[in-house]
Amino acid sequence: MILSKEKAKEMLEAAKPLIKWIAKNCHPHCTATVDCASVDLAECVANEATDEYLGEHYETACPNCGEKTALSVGPSVAACRVCMHSWELPKNRDEDLHASDCATHNGPALKEGPCDCGIG
């Protein structure tokens, strides 16, 4: 999924009532997860993070925001540390990097199409 800066701002505005409710009714270790049919309220008891096992650091520009802060999160996927966008890594790392939902990756279920992720 590619989220434009305009859509990201729209999402934040839509979420502000929930953020306000959590700030008023919960403590700082509570989070809400929203999908198209439900909302879950959860409490974090402990959280320690490491990217030690995720994969190699991969210096390339994110196709969504342009920042060079990608991290390989598997043998064929990279993620941006700034905007959290993820995309498929090419088998040959010298190839262009298309977003995972780019039409160039539609196969085999659908006919592959021309690039629609902005890389070209």
Residue-range definition of the domain harbouring residue 29: 5-43
Mark whether 35 and 86 lie in a shared domain: no
pTM listed for this prediction? 0.44
Mark whether 81 and 111 lie in a shared domain: yes
Mark whether 57 and 34 lie in a shared domain: no
Q: How would you write 45-90 as a 3-class SS string?
A: CCCCCCCCCCCCECCCCCCCCCCCCEEECCCCEEEECCCCCEEECC
Give per-10-residue mean pLDDT for the chain (120 aa): 85 95 91 92 82 60 75 68 74 58 74 76
Mark whether 36 and 74 lie in a shared domain: no
In Å, how far from its chain's centre is CA 110? 23
Look at the chain and report how many structural domains it folds into: 2
